[in-house]
Structure 1
Amino acid sequence: MVRFVVVASAAAALLLSSVAAVPEGHLVDRLPGFHGALPSKHYSGYVSVDETHGRQLFYYLVLSELDPAADPVVLWLNGGPGCSSFDGFVYENGPFNFERGSDPGGLPKLQLNPYSWSKVSNIVYLDSPAGVGMSYSLNKSDYTTGDLKTAADAHTFLLKWFELYPEFQSNPFYISGESYAGIYIPTLIDEVVKGIEKELKPRINLKGYLIGNGATDQDYDFNSFVPFAHGMGLISTELYEDVSAACHGTFWGKVNDVCQEKIEKVHWELKDLNKYNILAPCYHHPENQELEFKNSSLPSSFRMLGETERPFPVRKRMAGRSWPLRTAVTDGRIAMWPELNGRSLPCTSDELANAWLDDEDVRAAVHAKSKSLIGSWELYTARIDYYHDTGSSVVKYHKKFTAMGYRVLIYSGDHDLCIPFVGTEAWVRSMGYQVIDHWRPWYFGEQIAGYTQGYEHNLTFLTIKGAGHTVPEYKPKETLAFYSHWLSGEKI
């Protein structure tokens, strides 16, 4: 059991007083919907990453409730591509739980989240790339973007952010995220490492990164859904043997006609499941779901989603957090499906986040631009036109960074059919590292919370029992436990 103690040290007090003055105008002194004192200092605002084009990235910083002067600084990125990191702030590991207000159509009520990652770390939520969430550009050509431009902009953001907050330059720095952030993070780390090698200032004190249910390698990710479905008892052994024989282990892309027929049968068997958590309900009636997708080119196995249990259940689950769900990949160019853009996204019920983040009083409080200037907040932006990806795999980046000594945690909710843990485990094993901590359970509250395996070069793979695609949302207690232990270098 992890215990949290608020440290009122002289160093922490000095940090808080110094940060309060810099940068000017970024201190958040109130939040509509929340009553009482914030448990730590909050800051938010824009950082320009391109003065010529007027490209501005929006961030929200939550200082650690433990010891902000010494605790790590952790950057959080949601996926998509095109998903606002306020998704994580509102529904996953942020400082609040959101619940409906007493007045219909009114602002949500905010209650403190006892399992916020700010319990043990300073955490920065970044809307990236420009056009996502509250981030924007004055040049609409910036909304044709891709992995490399996104990584370069995020690196520029970090350099300027640490200039704004020099107090944190010596703190251990980690990058975290989930889903398509499995692509965002390695490409950003590559920029950071190159900057360190070039001795760019300020020097970023990078120590490692952690990724949850991350898109990583198309072959491992896309080919894992059939074995996962069989292992979870979602399809029969007869169907599994038929599709395996017809497809020879390749269940996506250019396959033969017999294989495609068998895959479609698997899709049909799974179509009414919540693919982000097979244990959770799906809130769309199948007939309505089929109508919404009748002209879609997306596979039916990624079209229906449900909900999660939280202290304050607030939303229905949605599609689009990672590449199988939202995009079509052709020659490295990801087309954003019109029927899946912005507010028209099927299977989404994010009224609370939309109601809160589109309120002009809230925007003023967090120093975000008004709707009249940048438009409504969207969980998945309709502004990104095309997204150029870096290729089919980023495993080479993980090999590079682990060999350099950076600490890496790859974790998976074990009931996610979007990016199944079996594919993630397979690519981790494919790196060929020696196992130094053999497969074993890890515990929370004297109960098995999942399984883990440790490798040489500071690489750890971890599952979270019963969690779906967005692990902190489904298992907030257990997530804070492994997060706290890993950050502190303790054995999970």
Structure 2
Amino acid sequence: MAAPILHLLVAAAACSIATAAPQEHLITALPGFDGAFPSRHYSGYITVDEASERSLFYYLVLSERDPATDPVVIWLNGGPGCSSFDGFVYENGPFNFEPGSTPGGLPKLQLNPYSWSKVSNMIYLDSPAGVGMSYSLNRSEYKTGDLKTAADAHKFLLKWFELYPEFQSNPFYLSGESYAGIYIPTIADEVVKGMEKGAEPKINLKGYLIGNPVTDIDYDFNSFVPFAHGMGLISTDMYENVKATCGGTFWGTVDDLCQENIDRVRWELKDLNVYNILAPCYHHPQIQEAVFRHSSLPESFRRLGETERSFPVRKGMAGRSWPLRAALKDGRVPMWTGIGGRSLNCTSDELATIWLDDEDIRDAIHAKSKSLIGSWELNTARLDYTHDTGTMLSYHKKFTTLGYRVLIYSHIIPIISTIGS
């Protein structure tokens, strides 16, 4: 009798959480998925600016273990401009696409056995407005930057915890990847400053964790060439030549010869998944044919992106690393989505786009229609985004000194570098 009683107690706890949550945000079913959800799901909009109806979209997955006491974790994809539905369907969310799914009909979903919702209440947030399902009726609001994005996210959190008061005492963590290395420390800063000023409701922030984070322009931008050499992807002769002409600085150079040699390195690696060199890299066929045919990499590497199976079901994590896409100029972060709306960074978003552009799906998750906010994009070009905060090293030092737990980790290598305790 012990096991049935335990199941009843867990179910009772889940129900007590659910009754306090806004029932109009409850998701009862998802087209493309057959079966019962392992826990309750909620989604909808929270308006952070009434005048422009600037509203951020979230999807909440209650913990499958004990939602009443498990941590609340918010997840942010990077970019800037990446939708957190990327993490939801391709990384740590409750579902992924069934193997063999191909573009055509509505993609089928299956449960993800490695979902973070196994042990935590997960919030997937599309931020800032203009990203994913988040929007503003005033499109000028899509001109934004780090500070405005952090302030809006803090407003979102305060309103979210008002909407879900049953979670106010749960441990709260910020999490994400890539350009979320900027989002997360700056949001944490807003949260801490808010608590110091007595903002209500009080957020029980315990720390944050970031995978492959953008951290510091000089460190990040200068790492690419030494990384390529250290991984054996370019010859020592090529590395020494670049190093000699660039003086050890591999970005933002005005020296033509240095830039030419950096471009040669990038050309060598243009058809390689630099985030996981042993994993396939999806290239749109037009790109594969027109661009990726002159590399001197071995045939086995050059053909990693080709496959006879339907590739859009992604099995590994392909990064969306902002520093490697283009040089930062005057604080402006470059945006591009590539041919056919796809990003050129080893990611195919075809299945996710089909699924999230389906109006039945949008109805089910309480998202606005395509006619109002446009098509879903994994990485949008709608934003006019400015990096206006600088290095994150000072933020990390500040929060670890204050006693917050900070985890900086690599998606690809399961060795974790921990800052703080």
Q: 1:130 to 1:306 in 2, by over 3 A?
A: farther
The aligned residue for residue 361 of structure 1 is 360
Superposition deviation, residue 23 in structure 1: 1.3
Q: CA deviation at 1:82?
A: 0.5
* Deviations 1:57-111, CA, capped at 9 Å, x for gaps: 0000000001111100000000010110000001000111212687962111111
Secondary structure in 1 matching 2:257 = helix
Instruction: Name the residue aligned to 1:398.
Output: 396
How many angstroms does 1:380 deviate by?
1.3
The offset of 1:249, in angstroms, is 1.7
**Distance 1:120-1:199 versus aligned 2 partners, 3 A rule:** same
In the TM superposition, residue 53 of structure 1 has moved relative to its aligned partner by 0.9
Query: CA distance change for structure 1 residues 351 and 148 in 2, over 3 Å: closer, same or farther?
Result: same
Task: Provide the residue aligned with 1:269 in structure 2.
Answer: 268
Read off the aligned partner of 2:415 and give its amino acid letter. Y
| Most deviating of 81-90 and 236-245 | 236-245
CA-atom RMSD, angstroms?
3.0
Contact 1:316 1:349 in 2 (8 A): no
Q: Provide the residue aligned with 2:26 in structure 1.
A: 27
Q: Number of matched residues?
A: 404
Asked if residue 451 in structure 1 is aligned to residue 412 in structure 2, the reply is: no
Q: Name the counterpart of 2:380.
A: 381
Could you tell me which residue of structure 2 aligns to residue 352 of structure 1?
A: 351
Q: Which residue of 2 aligns with 1:188?
A: 187
Q: Summarize the Cα distance change of 1:253–1:178 in structure 2 as closer, same or farther, 3 Å threshold.
A: same
Q: Per the alignment, do residues 141 and 14 of structure 1 end up closer, same or farther by CA in structure 2, a change over 3 Å counting?
A: same
* Aligned residue number for residue 154 of structure 1: 153
Aligned counterpart, 1:331:
330
Deviation at 1:260, TM superposition (A): 2.4
Tell me by how many angstroms 1:244 deviates. 2.0
In structure 2, relative to structure 1, the CA distance for the partners of 1:223 and 1:104 (3 Å cut) is closer
Aligned equivalents of 1:413 and 1:314: distance in 2?
18
**Cross-structure match for 1:467:** none
Q: 1:257 to 1:18 in 2, by over 3 A?
A: closer
Shift of 1:283: 3.6
CA distance in 1, matches of 2:12, 2:18: 10
Code of the aligned partner of 2:333: I
| Aligned-residue offset at 1:286 | 9.3
Q: Is the 8 A contact 2:71 2:172 kept in 1?
A: yes
SS of the residue aligned with 2:333?
A: strand
Equivalence map 1:82-481=2 (5 Å): 82-99=81-98, 105-284=104-283, 288-289=287-288, 291=290, 306=305, 314-315=313-314, 321-326=320-325, 328-337=327-336, 340=338, 343=341, 345-346=343-344, 348-384=347-383, 386-414=384-412, 450-454=414-418, 457-458=420-421
Matches of 2:275 and 2:395, distance apart in 1? 26
Task: Give the SS at the match of 1:171.
Answer: coil
1:405-432 CA-to-partner distances (Å, cap 9, x unmatched) read 00011001357xxxxxxxxxxxxxxxxx
Specify whether residues 118 and 20 from structure 1 end up closer, same or farther in structure 2 by C-alpha distance, changes over 3 A only.
same
Give how far 1:9 is off.
6.7
- Say whether the 8 Å CA contact 1:45–1:59 is kept in structure 2: yes
- Structure 2: 5+ residue runs without aligned partners? 293-302
Equivalent position SS for 1:20: helix
Q: Deviation digits for residues 273-317 of structure 1, max 9, x if unmatched?
A: 122321123343898358479xxxxxxxxxx99599xxx961499
Counterpart CA distance in 1 for 2:196 and 2:416 is 33
User: In the alignment, residue 77 of structure 1 is paired with which amino acid?
Assistant: L
Q: By how many angstroms is 1:218 displaced?
A: 1.1
Aligned-residue sequence identity (percent) comes to 72
Q: Counterpart in 2 of 1:64?
A: 63
* Distance in 1, Cα, partners of 2:112 & 2:93: 7
1: CA distance between counterparts of 2:101 and 2:182?
Answer: 40
| Distance in 2 (alpha carbons) for counterparts of 1:405 and 1:341 | 46
Q: Which amino acid in 1 is paired with 2:206?
A: K
Q: Work out the CA distance in 2 between the residues paired with 1:103 and 1:452.
A: 35
Tell me, yes or no, if the aligned pair for 2:282 and 2:347 is still in contact at 8 Å. no
Partner residue in 1 for 2:298:
none
TM-score (norm 2): 0.88
Partner Cα distance (1:153, 1:350) in 2: 27
TM superposition shift of 1:200:
0.5
**Helix, strand or coil for the counterpart of 1:136?**
coil
Task: Report if aligned partners of 1:305, 1:317 keep a CA contact under 8 Å in 2.
Answer: no
* 1:30-52 deviation line (CA, Å, top 9, x unaligned): 11111111100000001010111
Task: Write the distance in 2 (CA, Å) between the matches of 1:93 and 1:307.
Answer: 25
SS at match of 2:110: strand
Structure 1 205/307 Cα, relative in aligned 2: closer, same or farther at 3 Å? farther
SS at match of 1:150: helix
CA pair 320-178 structure 1, distance change in 2 beyond 3 A: closer
Decide whether aligned partners of structure 1 residues 267 and 328 sit closer, same or farther in structure 2, where only a CA change above 3 A counts.
Answer: closer
Shift of 1:324: 2.4
Write the distance in 2 (CA, Å) between the matches of 1:123 and 1:67: 12
In 2, the alpha carbon distance for the partners of 1:388 and 1:68 equals 37
Alpha-carbon distance, 1:344 to partner: 5.1
SS of equivalent to 1:47: strand
Cα distance change of structure 1 residues 251 and 279 upon mapping to structure 2, 3 Å threshold = same
Match of 2:297? none
> Do the aligned partners of residues 166 and 107 (structure 1) sit closer, same or farther apart at CA in structure 2, a change above 3 Å counting?
same
Taking structure 1 as the reference length, the TM-score comes to 0.75
The one-letter code of the counterpart of 2:400 is: T
Gaps of at least 5 residues in structure 1 are 294-303, 416-449, 459-492
Conserved? CA contact 2:27–2:364, under 8 Å = yes
| Letter aligned with residue 394 of structure 1 | M
> 260-269 or 77-86, which moves further after superposition?
260-269
Query: In 2, distance between residues paired with 1:237 and 1:197?
Result: 52
Residues 104/215 of structure 1: CA separation in 2 closer, same or farther (3 Å cut): closer
Paired residue secondary structure (1:137): coil
Deviation at 1:259, TM superposition (A): 2.4
Bigger mean CA deviation after superposition, 98-107 or 400-409:
98-107
Q: Distance in 1 between matches of 2:22 and 2:59?
A: 13
Question: Residues 101, 271 of structure 1: CA spacing in aligned structure 2 closer, same or farther, 3 A cutoff?
Answer: closer
Offset at residue 334 of structure 1 (A):
2.4
The more displaced of 137-146 and 327-336 is: 327-336
1:43/1:60 contact within 8 Å kept: yes
Q: Is the 8 A contact 2:102 2:312 kept in 1?
A: no
